[in-house]
Each structure stands twice: as C-alpha cells, then as structure tokens.
Amino acid sequence: MGIKTVPLSRLEAHLRETLSECADSGQTFVIELPDQRLVAIQALEPSEDDGLVDELLASSPAFQSLVAKSKASPRKPFGPSTGGPVPPGFG
C-alpha cells in the first residue's frame, strides 16, 4: 500500500471515481488543498469499521449535544402532509 497525492480539483471533478480508486487500490490518498493544507483519505475494510463509528460518536461532546437537543425537540409525524401541494408522483 502506497500513498497517492491528488489535487483537490481532481477530487472535485471525479469524486466517485477517485474514491472508488482509493477503496479498490488500498492506497492512502492525500488531497492537496489550495491553501497548502493536506487531507488524507484511507479506505477501511468493513470488518475494521465495526464499532468505529459508534465509538467516535459516543466520545463526541458535539454529537452528544446534538442527540440531547433532538430528544428535547417536539416530534413530527412521518405520515403524509396535510397542508400543502403534493409534488408530482407523490399524490
């Protein structure tokens, strides 16, 4: 596994292809931002990701605050809307 440097313009122009290449090749992609900063993208195997997202979210104060705010807000039903025009194909 190597490292491949990719300009931001290529990532923006060919997002799906670039991410697929990263995932398929196993290489780490380093994206060059215009202001000289760098961002790394690395594919994870499905088995490697098994609790990673849960652990990251559980340890994030910002995410916990967002969950608390959501729990405290009023709930809206998911049923059909009764107060406005129905978009074509949904009525």
Q: How many other CB atoms are there within 10 angstroms of residue 42's CB atom?
A: 13
**Residue-wise pLDDT tens digits, 4-33:** 999 999 999 999 999 999 999 989 999 999
Residue 67 to residue 13: CA distance in whole angstroms: 34
CATH of the domain at 54: 3.40.1620.10
**Residue-wise pLDDT tens digits, 30-53:** 999 999 999 999 887 766 556 777
Question: Does any domain span residue 76?
Answer: no
Closest CA to 13 of 26, 31, 25, 39: 31
Please state the domain count of the chain.
Answer: 1
Question: Does any domain span residue 81?
Answer: no
Question: Does any domain span residue 90?
Answer: no
List, in order, residues 6 or more apart from 21 with CB less than 8 Å away: 27, 29
Alpha helices for the chain (secondary structure H): 8-13, 15-25, 52-58, 61-72
Question: Does any domain span residue 77?
Answer: no
